[in-house]
Amino acid sequence: MDKKTNFPDLERLPPHNHFKHFLNWLINKPKMIFKDYIIKNFPDKNLELEILKLNLELKEYELTLLKKEMQEIRKYSNFL
């Protein structure tokens, strides 16, 4: 075997069957299209609920942060 590189670890890959991969793609493509359509047009209610919960949590955090800032401003305004 005549190697073109100086790396002894490299080995040739087994023969590749393009027709097999094409058939596999052909069989799976309608499934992928259908799955994408379902995900796009029928969103999961649990996912929306999780997003709303995260947004609520973020707003609560922002509210507490603003309250703390207001308290600090009042505290410093009393010193002036």
pTM higher than the cut 0.75: no
| 10 touches 3 (CB < 8 A) | yes
CA distance 20 to 28: 12
**What confidence score (pLDDT) does residue 28 get?**
94
| 65 touches 58 (CB < 8 A) | no
- The whole-number average pLDDT for the span 45-69 is 92
Q: How confident is the model at residue 52 (pLDDT cuts 50, 70, 90)?
A: very high
**Residue 4, number of CB atoms within 10 A of its CB:** 6
CA distance 73 to 17: 72
Residue with the larger pLDDT of the pair 7 and 4: 7
For the chain, give every domain's residue range. Answer: 19-79
**Of the candidates 10, 26, 6, 28, the residue with the CA atom closest to the CA atom of residue 18:** 26
Residue with the larger pLDDT of the pair 77 and 63: 63
pLDDT at 1 over 60: no
Instruction: Give the chain's length.
Output: 80
